[in-house]
Amino acid sequence: MPIELKMPALSPTMEEGSLAKWLVKEGDVVKSGDLLAEIETDKATMEFEAVDEGIIAKILIPEGTEGVKVGTVVAMLAAEGEDITAIGEGAVPALLLAPEIADKVATSIPAAVPVASSAAPAIGASRIKASPLARRLAEASAIDLSTIRGSGPNGRIVKVDIDGATPASMPAVAPGVPAAFAAAVPSIEPDIPHEVVKLSNMRKVIARRLTESKQQVPHIYLTADIHLDPLLKLRADLNDGLAERGVKLSVNDLLVKALAAALIEVPSCNVQFAGDNLLRFSRVDISVAVSIPGGLITPIIAGANAKGVAAISSEMKDRAERARNGKLQPHEYQGGTASLSNMGMFGIKQFEAVINPPQAMIMAIGAGEKRPYVVNNALTVATVMSVTGSFDHRAIDGADGAQLMAAFKRIVEKPLTLLA
């Protein structure tokens, strides 16, 4: 009996992916642990490993196919000695393709292997198939599940179906809302020379999540100017002492530690809004924004409050490098209790970052620059940077945000506390 190889869920939130590249071909013998394919998710390109051993009998989804739902049969694996020519004489079971790619895939599958219908079964009055997460999201958004066609296994309604749905009490586009605000694609291409660049999965997710953040999360912004010279001096002294260990601290490493310390001091900002509840975290996991080709990813320094600056530096360098190579594991970029985004290296003086849900705050770091500044009641020229905290006002009051900004400023200006 052949074994179905299905599109794996490579992260807790993954619902579809792109089959970027097959690493095997039909007729190849594979064993457990062999790499079968490269799967592109919204954050990284990850490897799909074989669990069983056998012979690749049929490849059903060609490489380069996008929008392949989790659970879709992508290939058939035959046991050693099994007649692989018999595989595919009937319909391939449980081929869970998104409707928009079913036609494309059908043309690439041999005629002997008909594609099962991708249409979801009719929704009867008895039971609506939906994932627990989809049910919670639908309830929170007043969405009638009976009006939704599920794209998951066997017509099951999943999160992505809810994301594109409209509450029953609202029209598809509220009157007076500009079309550009409700739709991502203009109805008519501009009469200007241009090229059309297809969005990657990562860019699609970034667009969707940040739009949701600005539409659903009430942002409040608080800005402070910070005297940076004491931190720069400490960094230089520490790097002199750590040179023999091959460790070189960046300003960002010290700011990650400072934000973690400030969040421990002001726990009312180390929180997450959760409907009728507020989650208050006892550990600080800092997501650090890293620019990569095609988008942005946020590797996490877990337990940053309990780690030394050298450990943070080493971990950050490793994760940033692997992020740029698409080699991060899901647990290394999913989660986090707060974020830090630094654009100072680009000479940006000050900016307001968009909160990354479900987190409730992000600290935006501007460039350190020479400015007139009062130090010890005397006007002097000092290195000063502007930082702006973005806070989810549902979870964090302005006064709490102000306390966090004050704590962060004090820690950076008296950085020896980072070594305590």
Among residues 284, 354, 15, which one has the least CA distance to residue 161?
15
Query: Residue 225 class from Cβ within 10 Å (0-12 exposed, 13-18 middle, 19+ buried)?
Result: middle
> Which pairs count as long-range contacts for 327-331, CB under 8 Å and 24+ apart, including other chains?
327/44, 328/43, 328/44, 328/297, 328/299, 329/46, 330/10, 330/11, 330/12, 330/14, 330/43
What letter does residue 124 receive in the DSSP assignment? -
Query: Reduced to 3 states, what is the DSSP secondary structure of residue 161?
Result: helix
Extended strands (E) in 60-115 = 65-69, 73-78
Asked if omega into 2 is within 30° of 0 (cis), the reply is no
Contact present, 332 and 309 (Cβ < 8 Å): no
393 noted as active-site residue: yes
SS (H, E, C) 344-383: HHHCCCCCCCCCCCCCCEEEEECCCEEEEEEECCEEEEEE
Taking the C-alpha atoms of residue 251 and residue 350, their distance in angstroms, rounded to an integer, is 17
Helix (H, G, I), strand (E, B) or coil at 14: coil
Rounded CA gap, 158 and 15, in Å? 8
**Residues catalogued as catalytic:** 393
